[in-house]
Amino acid sequence: MEHLDKLKEKLINFFNKYPSEQFKSNVIARRLAIKDKSEIRFLQQALNELHHAKLIARGKRKRYGYTTPPSIGRFIGIVRTTKQRSGVVELLPPKVGKVKIEQKFLHTAIDGDTVSVALFAQPDKNENSNQILEGEIIEVIERTSKPIVGVFQKSEHFNFVIPDDNRIGRDIYIPKGKTNKAHHGNKVVVNIESWKTRNLNPEGVVVEILGKSGELSAEMNGIAREFQLPTHFPKEVLAEVDAIQEIISKDEIKRRLDFRKNICFTIDPEDAKDFDDAVSLDILSDGNFYLGVHIADVCYYVEENSLLDKEAFKRGTSVYLSDEVIPMLPEKLSNSLCSLRPKEDRLTYSVFMAITPKGIVKDYEVKKSVIHSKRRFTYEEVQKIIETGKGDFSDIIAEMKNLSSILLKKRTKEGSIDFESVETKFRFDENGKPTEIIKKERLDAHRLVEEFMLLANQTVAKSIGKFKKEENIRPFVYRTHDLPPPDKLSDLASFVEHLGYAFNISGGVTSKALQKLLGDVKGTEEENVINEVAIRSMAKAEYSDVNTGHFGLGFKYYTHFTSPIRRYPDLIVHRLLFEYQDKMPHSRRKELISRLPEICDHSSQMERIAMEAERASVKVMQVEFMKRHVGEQFHAIISGVTNYGLYVEITDLLVEGLVHVRDMEDDFYLFDDKQFALLGRHTKKRYRLGDKVQIQVIRVDPEEREIDFMLAE
């Protein structure tokens, strides 16, 4: 379905370039470089659906296109709504930009709909000024294919579904005969069938029943449906995977650097099954380090344009929910053939770097290789070896720790920001319910692997990006990170100032200023809150075919090369590197220039969806865990202040909830937005952002995924 949506978007872009012309489907296929028979079937389906939605016309002899150009002042785009239920329409070409939509002008549009938007009269300003366009949605051209998850409610006279996503803002009426035999309180998936006017509720049909609302399995299933996460691989993809030969041929080994006798090993979390990377280290005769970073050669098994490749592109990334992994690649590849398991020959793509004692890469080479990992380490095992100096390969690990410290020091000196964002993991009982929340400790072993992967990614990006002349420009996938938005930086400065920290942003911000701030709060109780606010103030890192550098890391060149088992952009980077080493023809470069923007945009989008789904799954597990602790007290820190209450985060568990003003019965409280505080009118008590408090759990609502606290004296 998602692939079909992308194809429709391509077609709209195509017709916008030729608004007064019509084309036969075979001409359109040729213009869009569609050759595969299955893709041509998708093309015909997309044309039919666009015609049915009145987005395009079908003329004589089955020619498709616009009958007339789009109206002046009216444009087509995709609407994105916010939690405040306002919206932004992301315009489709030929018009580029975004249109702000107030809630009352959304009418019946919901997040993801394709809409026609009319612009309001704009201020008479210079055409090149960065004015914000505003407008009104005139028509919903096509409903989003994204399913709506909610709770089925049955009253005496009618049925309705309350959506989990509060951005929809309306209950969905379910007529008799369209309930799918759902019972009151079921968690269900519903599709909107009709919504003619904002004055009436939308009508829908229940298409799936997930279980009883509030129960853990139903809530986790709801997350998978809400974010359209594919929980199974298509049969034809699995058949393609089954046909892959497991034995590495002698001819293939001859074509590669044979590194099997050299010492290399993997370092991963205790519960990991997909081992992307292995590392090796030698000390050269001139005193330089010779670091090898060996990455699973996934593209050897995933052929371009195969069904497996298309499925991997569609998924974009593996999704790590609290209780399961939804992988990008089937298990035979992710956990077996591509995983760098110990004592087994594995095909890899290796980056070898000669590094001086000051952390400067003097020379490097990127080669296809074959390795034989000598050991599978966990982070905890390596940490113990670092601390005691005893254990397997202790001499090599000691040198690795030394090198990683040098690299970290150099990176920090050059302005790289090192966010200490604390994460949690869960321990489960035999029924899959969380019994413990544990803070993940960031060890020296973690830093060791991080520094080596960062350096490999940077080195690979440099190897391509350094070509500046027009004739040498090489299409590539970069990992980019823009400067932080000024308004968010201003909010961050105000936030930390009230906690007693200095953060000067006059004249613009530098990565070193942010680095100093994070260094100042390191080890304090408010460190996690400040880190989270700082991360939210940053621009989002994304994939791009245009290199603009990485602000957060302070790198001029950066890419993702080290995790092709779980990230599609890494797989593309591997392909590109190999093709350049094999002297890629000009025609292939031209093809890539047209394809890479879509790959980068889609990969960035799927990464954002994965992050949102992962956060939602963590919240579900936190709520399930806290159900057993109602009435108990915890130490917490105030993480947010609003006019309706205090958001607080339990220090040891990183669980956030709300203390409602209505439950603060000892006084009448006033909200001071400049001081980020609630002030008691009579008692003069002040509750400020960053303050430490003792709280008691008074309410846990699994359906709303909410936890309520009250202040404990």
Residue 20 has pLDDT above 70, yes or no: no
Rounded to the nearest 5°, which phi and psi values hold at 700?
A: -130, 125
pLDDT tens across 597-634, in order? 999 999 999 999 999 999 999 999 999 999 999 999 99
pLDDT at 69: 47
Among 156-165, 218-227, 366-375, top mean pLDDT goes to 366-375
Same domain for 404 and 305, yes or no, is yes
pLDDT surpasses 90 at 84: no
N- to C-terminal Cα separation, the chain: 54
Tokens of 235: 């049969």
CA distances from 262 to 151, 257, 281, 294, 404 (A): 58, 11, 10, 12, 21
Q: What DSSP character marks residue 539? A: P
Residue-level pLDDT at 493: 81
- Kindly provide the residue ranges of all beta strands, DSSP E only, lying in 396-524, ordered along the sequence: 424-428, 434-439, 478-480
- Domains held by the chain: number: 5
Distances, alpha carbon 462 to alpha carbons 281, 299, 442, 558, 585, in Å: 21, 21, 29, 7, 21
Examine residue 222 and state whether it is found in any structural domain, yes or no. Answer: no
Q: What pLDDT, on the 0 to 100 scale, is given for residue 3? A: 66
Are residues 297 and 429 both part of a single domain?
yes
Amino acid at 170: R
What mean pLDDT comes out for the span 139-153?
89
Helices (H), 324-378: 331
444 and 563: one domain?
Answer: yes
Q: Tell me, yes or no, whether 687 lies in a domain.
A: yes
**Do the domain assignments include residue 471?**
yes
Per-residue model confidence (pLDDT) at position 572: 96
Residues 84 and 190 in one domain: no
Q: What is the pTM of this model?
A: 0.84
Strands (E), 356-485: 361-372, 376-378, 424-428, 434-439, 478-480
pLDDT at 125: 57
The angle formed by the CA atoms of residues 312, 333 and 328, to the nearest 5 degrees, is: 30
Domain extent, residue 415, equals: 235-480+546-615
* Buried residues in 449-469 as b, exposed as e (16+ CB within 10 A): bebbbbbbbbbbbbbbbeeee
In this prediction, residue 190 carries a pLDDT of 95
In 3-state terms, what secondary structure has residue 699?
strand
Residue 373 CA to residue 301 CA, distance in Å, equals: 19
Are residue 37 and residue 54 in the same domain, yes or no? yes
DSSP 707: E
75 SS3 class: strand
Above 80 in pLDDT, residue 394? yes
Task: Say yes or no to pLDDT of 522 above 60.
Answer: yes
Which pLDDT score is estimated for 487? 77
* Per-residue DSSP letter, 414: T
Query: What is the rounded distance in angstroms from the CA atom of residue 244 to the CA atom of residue 337?
Result: 9
Any domain includes 285: yes
The closest alpha carbon to 466, from 541, 547, 586, 554, belongs to 547
Q: Is the CB of residue 162 less than 8 Å from the CB of residue 153?
A: yes
Residues 634, 694 share a domain:
yes
* Measured distance CA(66)–CA(77) in Å, rounded: 16
Mean pLDDT of the chain: 89
Q: Are residues 564 and 582 in the same domain?
A: yes
C-alpha to C-alpha distance for 17 and 6, rounded to whole angstroms: 17
Domain boundary pick from 91, 119, 140:
140
- Tell me which of 178, 213, 248 is where a domain ends: 213
445 and 474, same domain (yes or no): yes
**How far apart are alpha carbons 461 and 458 in whole angstroms?**
5
Enter the tokens of residue 577: 């590197």
Q: Is residue 37 predicted with pLDDT exceeding 80?
A: no
Q: Judge if 258 and 385 occupy the same domain.
A: yes
Tell me the mean pLDDT in the region 658-666. Answer: 94
pLDDT of 536: 78
pLDDT tier at 514 (50, 70, 90 boundaries)? confident
In a domain, 221, yes or no: no
User: What is the SS3 assignment for 636?
Assistant: strand
- The pLDDT value recorded for residue 501 is 84
Nearest of 651, 663, 688, 683 to residue 673 by alpha carbon: 688
285: burial class by Cβ within 10 Å (0-12, 13-18, 19+)? exposed
Give whichever of 8-17, 107-116, 126-135, 526-535 has the largest mean pLDDT. Answer: 107-116
Asked if pLDDT for residue 256 goes beyond 60, the answer is yes
Domain assignment of residue 228, yes or no:
no
* Segment (H or E) for 529: helix 527-537
Residue 47 has a pLDDT of: 87
Which has the higher per-residue pLDDT, 425 or 70?
A: 425
| pLDDT of 67 higher than 60 | no
Query: Which CATH number does the domain housing residue 52 bear?
Result: 2.40.50.140
pLDDT of residue 685: 92
**Inter-helix orientation angle 586-626/568-581, to 10°:** 160
Helix (H) or strand (E) holding 256: none
User: What's the pLDDT at 411?
Assistant: 93
Q: What is the gyration radius of the CA atoms in the chain, in angstroms?
A: 28
pLDDT 10s digits, 313-323? 999 999 999 98
Q: Choose one of 109, 140, 171: the last residue of a domain.
A: 140
Q: How many CA atoms lie within 13 A of 595 on its CB side?
A: 16
Residue 456 in any domain: the answer is: yes
Rounded mean pLDDT of 541-554? Answer: 92
Q: Is residue 218 part of a domain?
A: no
Whose tokens are 């072993």? That residue is: 445
pLDDT > 90 fraction of the chain, expressed in percent and rounded: 58
- The answer to whether residues 440 and 580 belong to one domain is yes
Over residues 327-374, the pLDDT tens digits come to 999 999 999 999 999 999 999 999 999 999 999 999 999 999 999 999
Q: What is the mean pLDDT of residues 47-69?
A: 74
On the question of a cis peptide bond just before residue 94, with omega within 30 degrees of 0, the verdict is yes
- In angstroms, the CA 228 to CA 2 distance is 9
pLDDT at 338: 97
Closest CA to 649 of 531, 536, 537: 531
What's the pLDDT score for residue 112? 87
In this structure, the answer to whether residues 637 and 610 fall within a common structural domain is no
Share of the chain above pLDDT 70, in %: 94
Residue 247's pLDDT is what? 94
Read off the CATH number of the domain in which 156 is found.
Answer: 2.40.50.700
Cα separation, 291 vs 459, in Å, equals 12
Residues, the chain: 713
Report d(CA 110, CA 88) in Å as an integer: 11
pLDDT score recorded for residue 73: 62
Q: Residue 610, SS3?
A: helix
Same domain as 52, residue 182: no
User: What is the pLDDT at residue 72?
Assistant: 56
